[in-house]
């Protein structure tokens, strides 16, 4: 590496992608590595999303599940809301939230602030210049704020802040029925808040198979009392004191509701505001332009994960991409990414886990396929665990190789691992059906769905 620059590598962003590539590169003691972070070290997933959500959703799901047992007297069952949030902060701290130590102990220089490119080898952070032979952009994404009249004059919550409020709202209005919106709707409803969730599309979870959205809607409505309003959008919002007024359109008619909490779960868009033009890096609204090796249009600058848009976002994807890129940089290899088998998870109860393309994706591409769906009510665990809402759906190609699956069940994210292996290694429905499965577990539905395909009872 040329010594005319301050560093061999500067990584911008310390989320799972930035952290993984920085630590991997730093293990080669010949490398001079720096990482730039403008918010909290460890990134959004550690400090605001994955870990805080796991703590708080785990609590709310457990609290609500207890209420499903008539043998338990729930009239006097209470919880301390500030303590839930405090425990969330404690766990984040235990796992290294906003802690530079992990980087500094590896010999990485930590630079606090937001980077702006001056040219393809130079950035400015807080008016201080830093140069590097190679830059790696792992800047993530930010909340997309729809053009809602009056939003700038209203106190609203975001996915990062909603999970951290210290007082339970009485009436929550959630804008957006994607994965995060559904998780937050259930969180507030399970803890006792009146909750409404609205979605522009014809159903919640519009990016996944129709059965998943329909089942979650039924569970939300009939089990939790959540008001689900599809085919709708917010026209305007206003605030007077602590009361927020939302005017929204549904079925061509405008309606109004007063709430004390508005949560924006309107999706995200890549972070690209760092002077990329000065470095010769091309980008679009959908993200920074890269090739299959994560090269940008500037030969010494790479970008990966959420700031490039594209595939579904996940911590696993970010870490995987970063590991491959780091190995390529150190070994001068050209390994490419294999996205087969990655799982998309919605941490509701029951969980939603999706591996591979949706059925609509296959229809659009005119691919031939076979599918089978087994409802959870068909297996013993449904009776013992008192949950009938859920299913396992398997899709195979014409050669019976598994190409995708959708699971709506408790522990769906764990059940998905079987399908991840099957899809990644081109296994067939017969190989799944012939594998022993525990008879009183949720996984029995996997075996039955595979057997249904083999027996020819598929759709």
How does pLDDT run across 295-338, given as a tens digit for each residue?
Answer: 999 999 999 999 999 767 789 999 999 999 999 999 999 999 99
CATH class name, domain 151-267: alpha beta
Question: pLDDT tens, 163-206?
Answer: 999 899 999 999 999 999 999 999 999 999 999 999 999 999 99
Residue 225 backbone zone (phi > 0: left; psi -120 to 50: alpha; other: beta): left
Helices 179-190 + 210-224 axis angle, to 10: 20
Q: Are 288 and 270 in contact (CB under 8 A)?
A: yes
Q: Which CATH number fits domain 343-454: 3.40.50.720, 3.40.190.10, 3.30.390.30, 3.30.1330.10?
A: 3.30.390.30
Question: Nearest-5° angle of CA 233, CA 236, CA 242?
Answer: 115
- Give residue 77's pLDDT: 81
Bridge pairing between strands 7-12 and 128-137: parallel
Question: pLDDT tens, 34-60?
Answer: 999 999 999 999 999 999 999 999 999
DSSP class of 401: B
Instruction: Take residue 355 and report the two structure tokens written for it.
Output: 């591996």
* Residue 249, Cβ density class (10 Å: 0-12 exposed, 13-18 middle, ≥19 buried): middle
- Give residue 459's pLDDT: 52
What pTM does this model have?
0.94
> Which phi and psi (to 5°) does residue 328 adopt?
-60, -40
Other Cβ atoms less than 10 A from the Cβ of 361: the count is 14
Whether 151-267 and 7-42+98-143+269-331 are alike in CATH topology: the answer is yes
- Give residue 217's pLDDT: 97
Each domain of the chain, given as residue ranges in start order, spans 7-42+98-143+269-331, 151-267, 343-454
CATH class name, domain 7-42+98-143+269-331: alpha beta
Q: Is the pLDDT of residue 458 over 60?
A: no
Euclidean distance between CA atoms 231 and 203, whole angstroms: 7
């Amino acid at each position: 590496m040329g010594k005319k620059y301050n560093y061999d590598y500067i990584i911008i962003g310390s989320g799972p992608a930035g952290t993984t590539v920085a630590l991997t590169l730093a293990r080669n003691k010949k490398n001079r590595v720096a990482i730039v972070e403008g918010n909290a070290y460890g990134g959004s997933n550690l400090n605001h999303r994955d870990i805080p959500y796991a703590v708080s959703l785990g609590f709310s799901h457990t609290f609500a599940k207890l209420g499903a047992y008539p043998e338990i007297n729930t009239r006097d069952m209470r919880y301390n809301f500030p303590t839930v949030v405090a425990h969330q902060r404690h766990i984040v701290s235990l796992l290294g939230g906003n802690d530079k130590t992990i980087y500094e102990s590896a010999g990485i220089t930590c630079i606090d602030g937001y980077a702006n490119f001056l040219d393809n080898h130079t950035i400015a952070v807080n008016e201080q210049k830093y140069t590097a032979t190679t830059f790696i952009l792992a800047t993530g994404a930010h909340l997309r704020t729809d053009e809602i009249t009056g939003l700038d004059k209203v106190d609203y919550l975001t996915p990062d802040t909603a999970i951290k409020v210290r007082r339970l709202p009485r009436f929550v209005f959630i804008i957006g029925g994607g994965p995060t919106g559904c998780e937050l709707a259930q969180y507030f409803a399970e803890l006792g808040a009146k909750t409404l969730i609205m979605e522009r599309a014809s159903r919640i979870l519009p990016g996944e198979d129709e059965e998943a959205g329909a089942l979650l809607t039924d569970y939300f409505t009939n089990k939790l009392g959540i008001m689900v309003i599809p085919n709708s959008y917010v026209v305007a919002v206003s605030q007077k004191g602590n009361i927020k007024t939302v005017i929204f359109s549904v079925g061509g008619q405008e309606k109004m509701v007063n709430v004390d909490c508005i949560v924006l779960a309107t999706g995200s868009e890549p972070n690209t505001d760092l002077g990329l033009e000065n470095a010769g890096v091309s980008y679009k609204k959908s993200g920074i332009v890269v090739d299959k090796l994560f090269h940008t249009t500037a030969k010494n600058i790479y970008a990966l994960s959420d700031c490039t848009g594209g595939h579904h976002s996940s911590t696993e994807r970010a870490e995987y991409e970063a590991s491959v890129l780091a190995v390529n940089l150190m070994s001068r290899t050209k390994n490419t990414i294999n996205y087969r088998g990655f799982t998309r998870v919605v941490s509701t109860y029951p969980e939603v886990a999706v591996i591979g393309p949706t059925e609509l994706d296959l229809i659009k591409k005119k691919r031939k396929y076979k599918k089978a769906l087994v409802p959870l009510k068909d297996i013993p665990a449904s009776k013992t665990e008192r949950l009938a809402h859920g299913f396992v759906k398997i899709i195979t190609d014409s050669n019976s190789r598994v190409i995708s699956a959708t699971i709506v069940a408790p522990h769906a994210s764990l059940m998905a691992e079987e399908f991840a292996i099957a899809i990644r290694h081109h296994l067939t429905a017969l190989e799944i059906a012939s594998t022993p499965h525990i008879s009183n577990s949720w996984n029995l539905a996997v075996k039955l769905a595979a057997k249904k395909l083999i027996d020819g009872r598929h759709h």
